Chains A and B, each alone.
Chain A
Amino acid sequence: MTYDPLLERMPTSRLPSFSDREGVFGGERPAYAEESPFKIHGGCGLMGICDESGKLMSGETAIRAMAVQRDRGNGLGGGYAGYGIYPEFPDHFCFHMMYHDLAAKEAAEAVFDQYFVIDLAEPMPTRPVKGISDAPLLWRYFLAPDPHKLEMAEMTAEDYVVHTVMLINSKVDGAYVASSGKNMGAFKGVGFPEEIGHYYILEEYQGHTWVGHNRFPTNTPGWWGGAHPFTLLDWSIVHNGEISSYGINSRYLEAFGYKCTLGTDTEVAAYLFDLMLRRHKLPMELACKALASPLWSEIDRMPEDQQALMRSLRAVYGPGMLNGPFAIVLGFNGGMLALNDRIKLRPLVAARQGSVLMVASEESAMREVLKSPDKVWTPKAGEPVIARVEGMDWPIHGDLHLSASEVSCAVTGVENSCETVEVV
């Protein structure tokens, strides 16, 4: 049988060897010419908005929310993700691709040809904008997994797509998957966010949920693929902060087949959510407690049954905990989640106006977009703000069917916790 990288089983039960990790430490990492060699210190800005009634809003909403936070970034990265934007292809996986050159495009398209049925391939619609230059080749593809290959692979369609994304990002030189979900897409690049939004003609897209980001690169250079959001399947992550546990998080994720190849800490957050929410089917609130764990001293003060749950969660997901300062917004088909690190080292403000829930780094973003919010508040550190679109399965493809108490039961192995544990 010929070597088929997609069908190659990812290691699941052993820690990866050093050679598995070469990609992380530079060995096989694609040489993206877009990368700049210098770094500048600073902060970032972000936003997320979700109309829980499912009503669509133009991408201009997201652009305006980011434009008032312009000075949180420095023009080295801006980006958005929109949900519900491709109603013509709701069941196709839409790949937004960035290519350094035509050779990279051909190599990536060979992967698509081999594993997928391509129903539409087209250049990403853009327009010239002052301030945006050196864009890579931008293409998008509406794909369905080849049914025969999918059956051979004995995977869910989602896992099949995840393997494809990892394959392209780690093996195809000069090609990068910007997004790979259904009825969603990521639009990002090097520039201020309002310039990037305008470049991608975002005001012509209509979505029920949008996330946006303004980058001020700190530990890694600004490049097109390194702009936020970072995505996998439907998940998109925008992040302000610094995940100092990147090393242990990425090694942990590699054991589950994820390859961290993008040279940016935020990538691990996207994969951790995919692992916990889609594959382990953890309830969203519990996943947040695993990522932004309560401090041990806080756990000591909890009621006994909650203590057992939190201790187990910290034990099981210890290497998945995000350490360091962060404010993140997770977008997905069906809603949005915003979360701070447990001691609030980055800003996050929330507002509600009717069925619209919005979060941002600064209150001004919400005052700009929502004319008269019913409520503006600052979420507590480590406690998620969650929006869910009425009538939509969530968090992803209706995967979630365990209740919080069922999971706590599974995690703790304590039967009576099934009756009593409530995760708030």
Chain B
Amino acid sequence: MMQATKTKTNGVIEGYVAREPKITIDGDTAMIEAQNVYYRNVNDAVRQVIADGAKTVKLLDINGQRYIGTGLRAKGVKIEVNGTAGNDMAMFMDGPAVEVFGNAQDGVGNTMNAGTVIVHGDAGDVLGYGMRGGKVFIKGDVGYRVGIHMKAYENHVPIMVCGGKSRDFFGEYMAGGMLVLLGMNSQFEGPLVGGYLGAGMHGGEIFLRGEVEPWQVGKECGIFVADEEDLARLRPVLEEYCAAFDMPIDEVLSVPLTKLVPISHRPYGKLYVYV
């Protein structure tokens, strides 16, 4: 299928082509065929159909196109991505619900403000970088520096749940929000999470389904066992996560959860102070 539609212009082998994608409107659902279409044309089409009143946008044959849903401010809009979502999907996004049927590349949910991202696959590095609100649910594994510098303000509390395992620097410099790692749907060998877990963390909370060795954890974190109160807060989040991926919540909660929180609010508060 890929081969048949491969574009050769005057013998020049091209990748994405800056042409308008085929759009089919059916009521308030818009279908956009994105195969080999340049990311700008795809994203322009998404914005256009939403401006024209579409509530569900289905993107077909996405393969690495960047910035899907980036900077999009809309309520009650659903974007369905079929294929491999490109870098910086849902960056600065404010409101929409994005669901990816495939894997997502790096930088998903970068500085995201509100809305939800659901990925039925794995996600890459720097997932949820500086995320300020909304929810990100990943079914499988995630890469390095996930949740780096997530932050919360009043009732803007970002929540991220990853179903697989994570590499190093999970929750690095975390300043607020909730990060959950389940270690369930994984193709990674080895431990649940790498090193430098929560390094430089000074706000928010990390929950891990299983245990970690002290060497894995940043000096700024305290390691605790999640208590009843924690579980009461977690349960609705995990219920929503399990509903998204059709997973049994009992299995998720069958293993004790480890909780990491910063032991200092301002670990470097006195670094440059003459005392």
Name A's B-contacting residues (CB within 8 A): 60, 63-64, 66-71, 129-130, 194-195, 197-198, 203, 297-298, 301, 343-344, 347, 349, 362-365, 367-368, 371, 375-378, 380-381
Pairwise interchain contact B103-A363, C-beta atoms closer than 8 A:
yes
Q: Once the chains are docked, how many angstroms separate the CA of A298 from the CA of B194?
A: 11
Q: Once the chains are docked, how many angstroms separate the CA of A255 from the CA of B83?
A: 50
Q: Once the chains are docked, how many angstroms separate the CA of A56 from the CA of B13?
A: 19
Contact residues of B between 126 and 151, Cβ < 8 Å to A: 141, 143-144
Taking A301-B215, A376-B103, A377-B187 as contacts, is the C-beta distance between A367 and B84 under 8 angstroms? yes
Pairwise interchain contact B14-A362, C-beta atoms closer than 8 A:
no
Q: Which residues of A contact B168 (CB under 8 A)?
A: 343-344, 381
Pairwise interchain contact B124-A347, C-beta atoms closer than 8 A:
yes
Q: Which residues of A contact B215 (CB under 8 A)?
A: 297, 301
**Most A C-beta atoms less than 10 A away, residue of B15, B16, B84, B143:** B15
Q: Which residues of B contact A367 (CB under 8 A)?
A: 63-64, 83-84
Distance from B84 Cβ to chain A, minimum over Cβ atoms (Å): 5
Taking A364-B105, A367-B84, A377-B187 as contacts, is the C-beta distance between A60 and B63 under 8 angstroms? no
Contact residues of B between 62 and 118, Cβ < 8 Å to A: 63-64, 66, 83-84, 86-87, 103, 105-106
Q: Once the chains are docked, how many angstroms separate the CA of A380 from the CA of B143?
A: 9
**Most A C-beta atoms less than 10 A away, residue of B143, B144, B168, B169:** B144
Distance from B168 Cβ to chain A, minimum over Cβ atoms (Å): 7
Is B173 part of the contact surface with A, judged by Cβ < 8 Å? no
Point out the residue from B13, B39, B169 that lies within 8 Å of A198, measured CB to CB: B13
Q: Which residues of B contact A363 (CB under 8 A)?
A: 64, 84, 103, 105, 124
Q: Once the chains are docked, how many angstroms separate the CA of A381 from the CA of B167?
A: 9
Complex A-B, nearest 5 residue pairs according to Cβ-Cβ distance, in ascending order: A364-B64, A67-B15, A344-B144, A68-B15, A364-B63
Q: Once the chains are docked, how many angstroms separate the CA of A68 from the CA of B64?
A: 7
**Residue on B with the closest CB to A66?**
B15
Q: Once the chains are docked, how many angstroms separate the CA of A367 from the CA of B15?
A: 12
Is B27 part of the contact surface with A, judged by Cβ < 8 Å? no
Where chain B touches its partner, the secondary structure class is loop
Q: Which residues of B contact A377 (CB under 8 A)?
A: 187
Point out the residue from B122, B167, B187 that lies within 8 Å of A380, measured CB to CB: B167
**Residue on B with the closest CB to A380?**
B167
Contact residues of B between 1 and 46, Cβ < 8 Å to A: 2, 11-16, 39
Q: Once the chains are docked, how many angstroms separate the CA of A301 from the CA of B84?
A: 37
Pairwise interchain contact B106-A347, C-beta atoms closer than 8 A:
yes
Q: Once the chains are docked, how many angstroms separate the CA of A180 from the CA of B195?
A: 42
**Residue on A with the closest CB to B103?**
A363
Distance from A346 Cβ to chain B, minimum over Cβ atoms (Å): 9
Pairwise interchain contact B64-A344, C-beta atoms closer than 8 A:
no
Is B125 part of the contact surface with A, judged by Cβ < 8 Å? yes
Distance from A110 Cβ to chain B, minimum over Cβ atoms (Å): 38
Q: Which residues of A contact B66 (CB under 8 A)?
A: 71
Q: Once the chains are docked, how many angstroms separate the CA of A67 from the CA of B8?
A: 12
Distance from A16 Cβ to chain B, minimum over Cβ atoms (Å): 38
Pairwise interchain contact A371-B2, C-beta atoms closer than 8 A:
yes
Residues 162-174 of B, flagged 1 when their CB comes within 8 A of A and 0 if not, give 0000011100000
Bin the interface of chain B by size. 20 to 34
Q: Which residues of A contact B63 (CB under 8 A)?
A: 68, 364, 367-368
Pairwise interchain contact B64-A194, C-beta atoms closer than 8 A:
no
**Residue on B with the closest CB to A346?**
B125
Point out the residue from B12, B86, B169, B195 that lies within 8 Å of A364, measured CB to CB: B86
Q: Once the chains are docked, how many angstroms separate the CA of A197 from the CA of B13?
A: 9
Q: Once the chains are docked, how many angstroms separate the CA of A239 from the CA of B56?
A: 40
Q: Which residues of B contact A343 (CB under 8 A)?
A: 144, 168-169
Distance from B269 Cβ to chain A, minimum over Cβ atoms (Å): 26
Distance from B37 Cβ to chain A, minimum over Cβ atoms (Å): 12
Distance from B78 Cβ to chain A, minimum over Cβ atoms (Å): 23
Contact residues of B between 167 and 218, Cβ < 8 Å to A: 167-169, 187, 195, 215
Distance from A74 Cβ to chain B, minimum over Cβ atoms (Å): 15
Q: Which residues of A contact B14 (CB under 8 A)?
A: 67, 194
Pairwise interchain contact B11-A198, C-beta atoms closer than 8 A:
yes
Q: Once the chains are docked, how many angstroms separate the CA of A368 from the CA of B12?
A: 17
**Residue on A with the closest CB to B6?**
A64
Q: Once the chains are docked, how many angstroms separate the CA of A17 from the CA of B70?
A: 54
Q: Which residues of A contact B84 (CB under 8 A)?
A: 363-364, 367
Distance from B253 Cβ to chain A, minimum over Cβ atoms (Å): 28
* A–B complex contacts, Cβ < 8 Å, 27 sampled: A63-B13, A64-B13, A64-B15, A67-B15, A69-B15, A70-B16, A71-B39, A71-B66, A129-B12, A198-B12, A297-B195, A343-B169, A344-B125, A347-B124, A362-B86, A363-B103, A363-B105, A363-B124, A367-B83, A368-B2, A368-B15, A368-B63, A371-B2, A375-B187, A376-B122, A378-B141, A381-B144
Q: Once the chains are docked, how many angstroms separate the CA of A165 from the CA of B55?
A: 62
Distance from A404 Cβ to chain B, minimum over Cβ atoms (Å): 21
Distance from A123 Cβ to chain B, minimum over Cβ atoms (Å): 20
Point out the residue from A67, A130, A347 that lies within 8 Å of B16, measured CB to CB: A67
Q: Which residues of B contact A371 (CB under 8 A)?
A: 2
Q: Which residues of A contact B2 (CB under 8 A)?
A: 368, 371
Q: Which residues of B contact A69 (CB under 8 A)?
A: 15, 64
Distance from B26 Cβ to chain A, minimum over Cβ atoms (Å): 27
Q: Which residues of A contact B12 (CB under 8 A)?
A: 129-130, 194-195, 198
**Residue on B with the closest CB to A343?**
B168
Q: Which residues of B contact A298 (CB under 8 A)?
A: 195
**Residue on B with the closest CB to A369?**
B2
Q: Once the chains are docked, how many angstroms separate the CA of A64 from the CA of B15?
A: 6
Q: Once the chains are docked, how many angstroms separate the CA of A139 from the CA of B219?
A: 58
**Most B C-beta atoms less than 10 A away, residue of A69, A71, A203:** A71
Taking A344-B144, A364-B63, A368-B2 as contacts, is the C-beta distance between A70 and B106 under 8 angstroms? no
Q: Once the chains are docked, how many angstroms separate the CA of A367 from the CA of B2?
A: 10
Q: Which residues of A contact B124 (CB under 8 A)?
A: 347, 349, 363, 378
Distance from B175 Cβ to chain A, minimum over Cβ atoms (Å): 21
Q: Once the chains are docked, how many angstroms separate the CA of A367 from the CA of B195?
A: 30
Q: Which residues of B contact A194 (CB under 8 A)?
A: 12-15
Q: Which residues of A contact B195 (CB under 8 A)?
A: 297-298
